[in-house]
């Protein structure tokens, strides 16, 4: 009689290992398929572009080629005229050395091991686009490429979304939401307020500056009324996944109201994170109103405690981020001048801003209420 149907010592662990291996193999196979698919589409796009230049072919060749490929490979998707045009657009968008030169100039992280090899970038910039497909392009699914091509207009913006998608495995919906929320524009240096260059080594200051946004879009919280700081914190924790996506690369959540003790006193940090790439603890304080100078002093104190009591021996200095509804950059600058710890100050937005051209042209809530009451009085 077989014993396979009865209890087997260690079977559960064995089954778990096999399941993990199968799942990993599926992911690896999917990546390999995507790698080859993107390379194929790049080669087709390159071929169309080169023949149009060399032989003077017009746009009509795309329709003809689509029909011939569909007849040659019946039942195979991906060779419609529309997708062939996408392939040419894909090649055109990333093949020119000047595109990568501009992207490299505006994104220092490209040369710090974030998906590109320095040699690859150098070759692209040196004028050899036909020989080389940048590695990051093969790490991104084709459907994501189409969203980035059609919705992100500049080379640096496209590079930003390519890197993020490759690194964090963003779904199409997450990618679309990030593009709509203008996460690239809000990651730029302009409008950022911090003291990183004064208190951190140059290489670390640059990475910390890149990790900080000038503003954070918290519209996903759905807040449409005045709330207290604790309620804002509660909602962020309830929507932690969306919040971490908004924070950006490398943030790992540790806890809320994180307790720090000093003698007989206790202190609590609103939110505490660890940043994998900065290798540093990141303390975050939430403020409902405008930035005040005393916020910087309190954060500096918290960072001293974190460095003394929580920082690991191989960690970099802890970093503070103060999120407030408004900030005056001059006030922030003077408040951070004497601080010895790295602190950044950023705004958060709970709703999309009204376009500038409409400000002052729409009625206020009181005016709408008066107009409504007047209309009701006419009907009575």
**pLDDT for residue 320:** 95
Give the pLDDT of residue 225: 65
Let me know whether 177 and 210 are in one domain: no
What is this structure's pTM? 0.58
Residue 374, in any domain of the structure: no
Q: What is the pLDDT of residue 319?
A: 94
Residues 173 and 235 in one domain: no
pLDDT for the residue numbered 174: 84
**314 and 289 together in one domain:** yes
Q: Identify the pLDDT of residue 355.
A: 45
The CATH number of the domain holding residue 296 is 3.40.1350.10
Interior CA angle at 373 toward 371 and 376, to 5°? 110
pLDDT at 354: 41
CA quadruple 262, 263, 268, 273: dihedral, nearest 10: 40
Question: 372 in a domain, yes or no?
Answer: no
- Mark whether 71 and 165 lie in a shared domain: yes
Residues 136 and 23 in one domain: yes
State the DSSP string of 357-372.
GGTTTSPPHHHHHHHH
Q: CA-to-CA distance for 377 and 380, rounded, in angstroms?
A: 5
Query: Do 250 and 179 touch, CB atoms closer than 8 A?
Result: no
pLDDT at position 150, please? 93
What's the rounded Cα separation, in Å, for the pair 296 and 37?
51
Picking from 187, 209, 230, the residue at the C-terminal end of a domain is 187
Same domain, residue pair 84 and 142: yes
Residue ending a domain, among 169, 187, 205, is 187
Establish if 12 belongs to a structural domain. Answer: no
Report whether 145 contacts 155 (CB < 8 A): no
Find where tokens 């100039």 sit. Answer: 105
358 in any annotated domain: no
The residue assigned the tokens 């392939």 is: 87
Is 370 inside any structural domain? Answer: no
**pLDDT of the residue at 270:** 92
Tokens read off for 112:
């710090």
Tens place of pLDDT for every residue, the chain, 380 residues?
Answer: 455 556 778 888 888 898 888 888 888 888 888 889 999 999 999 999 999 988 888 889 999 999 999 999 888 888 999 999 999 999 988 887 656 555 555 544 433 433 333 444 444 444 444 446 778 899 999 999 999 999 997 888 888 889 888 877 888 888 888 888 787 877 666 567 888 988 898 888 888 887 888 788 787 777 766 667 788 888 888 888 888 888 887 899 999 999 999 999 999 999 999 998 889 999 999 888 889 999 999 999 999 999 999 999 999 999 999 998 888 888 998 999 889 999 999 888 776 544 444 344 444 444 444 554 555 455 44
User: 276 pairs with which residues across the strands?
Assistant: none
367 lies in some domain: no
The answer to whether position 366 is within a domain reads no
Residues in the chain: 380
Looking at residue 279, the DSSP 8-state letter turns out to be: T
Domain membership of residue 369 (yes or no) is: no
CA distance 61 to 3: 66
Would you state the torsion angle of the CA atoms of residues 261, 266, 269, 274, taken in this order, to the nearest 10 degrees? 20
Q: What is the DSSP secondary structure assignment for residue 87, as one 8-state letter?
A: H
* Same domain? 141 vs 280: no
- One domain, residues 146 and 239: no
The count of C-alpha atoms lying within 13 angstroms of the C-alpha of 25, restricted to the half-sphere facing its C-beta, is 6
Same domain flag for 84 and 201? no
Q: Which two tokens stand for residue 144?
A: 């994501």
User: Which residue, 187, 211, 244, sits at the end of a domain?
Assistant: 187
* pLDDT the model gives residue 181: 78
Same structural domain, 78 and 198: no
Element (H, E) at 222: none
| Count of domains for the chain | 2
Contact by Cβ (8 Å): 48, 88: yes
- Where would I find the beta strands (DSSP E) of the chain? 193-194, 215-217, 251-262, 265-275, 280-290, 319-326, 343-349
Using the 8-state DSSP alphabet, how is residue 139 labeled?
T
Tokens describing residue 125: 């910039």
- 340 & 280 share domain: yes
Residue 153's domain comprises 18-187
Contact indicator for 347, 326 with CB cutoff of 8 Å:
yes
Same domain, 35 and 81: yes
Contacts 24+ apart (CB under 8 A), 105-108: 106/155, 106/156, 107/156, 107/159, 107/160, 108/206, 108/210
Predicted local confidence at residue 3, as pLDDT? 55
Q: Can you give the pLDDT at residue 267?
A: 94
């Amino acid at each position: 009689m077989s014993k396979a149907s009865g209890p087997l010592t260690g079977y559960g662990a064995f089954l778990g290992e096999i399941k993990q291996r199968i799942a990993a193999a599926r992911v690896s196979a999917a990546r390999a398929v995507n790698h080859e698919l993107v390379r194929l589409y790049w080669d087709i796009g390159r071929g169309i572009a080169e023949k149009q230049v060399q032989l003077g072919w017009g746009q009509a060749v795309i329709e003809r080629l689509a029909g011939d490929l569909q007849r040659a490979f019946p039942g195979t998707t991906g060779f419609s005229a529309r997708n062939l045009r996408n392939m040419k657009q894909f090649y055109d968008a990333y093949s020119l050395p000047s595109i990568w030169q501009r992207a490299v100039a505006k994104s220092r992280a490209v040369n710090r091991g974030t998906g590109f090899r320095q040699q690859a970038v150098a070759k692209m910039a040196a004028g050899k686009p036909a020989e080389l497909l940048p590695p990051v392009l093969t790490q991104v699914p084709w459907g994501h490429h189409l969203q980035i091509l059609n919705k992100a207009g500049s080379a640096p913006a496209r590079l930003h979304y390519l890197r993020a998608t490759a690194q964090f495995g963003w779904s199409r919906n997450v990618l679309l939401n990030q593009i709509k929320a203008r996460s690239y524009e809000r990651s730029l240096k302009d409008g950022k307020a911090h003291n990183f260059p004064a208190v951190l080594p140059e290489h670390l200051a640059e990475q910390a500056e890149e990790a900080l946004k000038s503003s954070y879009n918290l519209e996903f919280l759905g807040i449409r009324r005045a709330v207290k700081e604790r309620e804002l914190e509660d909602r962020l924790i309830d929507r932690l996944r969306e919040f971490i996506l908004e924070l950006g690369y490398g943030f790992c959540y540790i806890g809320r109201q994180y307790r720090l003790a000093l003698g007989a006193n206790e202190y609590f940090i609103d939110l505490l994170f660890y940043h994998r790439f900065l290798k540093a603890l990141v303390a975050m304080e939430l403020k409902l109103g405008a930035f005040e100078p005393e916020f910087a002093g309190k954060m500096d104190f918290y960072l001293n405690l974190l460095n003394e009591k929580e920082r690991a021996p191989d960690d970099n200095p802890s970093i503070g981020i103060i999120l407030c509804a408004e900030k005056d950059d001059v006030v922030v600058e003077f408040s951070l001048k004497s601080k010895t710890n790295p602190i950044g100050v950023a705004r958060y937005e709970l709703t999309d801003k009204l376009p500038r051209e409409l400000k002052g042209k729409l009625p206020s809530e009181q005016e709408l209420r008066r107009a409504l009451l007047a209309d009701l009085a006419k009907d009575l």
